Amino acid sequence: MSSRLFQRVREELGLAPDALVVGMVGRLVREKGVETLLSAWEGAYRDGEDLCLAGEGPLRGWGTAPHVTYTGHVERGTLPVAYAAADVIVVPSLDTPSFLEPWGLVCNEAMHQGRPVVASAAVGAAAGGLVRHDETGLVVAPGDARALGAAIRALLDDPGRRARMGAAAREAVAAFSHEAAADAFGRALAAVGVEGRPAA
C-alpha cells in the first residue's frame, strides 16, 4: 500500500496516521466477542494506539474503553485496504450454545494483507490450523479478556514479531484465493461430469 493511500484510508476511518491500530471487522454483538475485546483493550491500551471496530450492531459504543473508533459499515471493496491500515486484526468470537464461528473469513482477508491475527480458539480458522499460535498469529481462550489483552500487547510491543507473523500469515493463506477456490470447484465438477455423472 502506498503511503498516500494508507494515510487516506486512515483518515477516512477516523484514525491518526501514526497510531498503532488494532482492528476488528464484524457484527458488533456479544457472540463476536466484542465485550471481551473492549474489556481487554481497557487494560492493553497505551497512548498513541487505537482500537478500530468496523461493523454495526447493538454493542456499538458499549463500555468505557479509551480510543475506540467505530467506523460503521465498511464496503467490501474497501476492506482490503482497511485491513492493511491496521497493524493487528482481532477475531475474538465466543463459543455459545446458539453460536459457533465456523471459520472466520476475516482471518483470511487480514492474512492476505500480511496482518497477524489474534483469534480465539472458538474461531474455525484457528481450530483448522490457518491461524497458528506464534506463527501466523496468536490464539487465546474465548472470553478471556486478560489473555486477549496480553496477546494484543505482545504484538503491539514487538514490530519485528508483527512483521514476521504477517509475512508467515500471507504465505500460509496464499492457497486460499478466489482463483484456487474456482479451480477446486472446477475440478469437483469435472470429477462428477457435467450432468452429475462420473466422468468417463
- Which residue ranges make up each domain of the chain? 3-192
Q: Mean pLDDT across the stretch 152-178?
A: 93
How much is the pLDDT for 3?
A: 67
| Sign, CA torsion 172/176/179/182 | positive
**Mean pLDDT of all residues in the chain?**
90
How much is the pLDDT for 1?
A: 54
How much is the pLDDT for 189?
A: 66
Q: What is the pLDDT of residues 9-25, one digit of tens each?
A: 888 888 888 899 999 99
How much is the pLDDT for 71?
A: 92
**What does each C-alpha distance from 172 to 44, 101, 185, 188 come to in angstroms?**
28, 20, 21, 23
The CATH number fitting domain 3-192, selected from 1.10.357.10, 3.40.50.2000, 2.60.40.1730, 3.30.230.70: 3.40.50.2000
Q: What is the pLDDT of residues 96-133, one digit of tens each?
A: 888 988 999 999 999 999 999 999 999 999 999 999 99
Vertex 66: Cα angle to 62 and 71 (nearest 5): 60
**What does each C-alpha distance from 55 to 28, 42, 74, 127, 141 come to in angstroms?**
6, 20, 7, 24, 23
Q: Could you write out the DSSP letters of every residue in 96-114?
A: BTTB--S--HHHHHHHHTT
Kindly provide the b/e burial profile for residues 18-53, where b requires at least 16 CB atoms within 10 angstroms of the residue's own CB.
ebbbbbbbbebbbbbbbbbbbbbbeebbeeebbbbb
Query: Is pLDDT of 143 > 80?
Result: yes
Give the Cα separation of 41 and 146 in Å (integer): 9
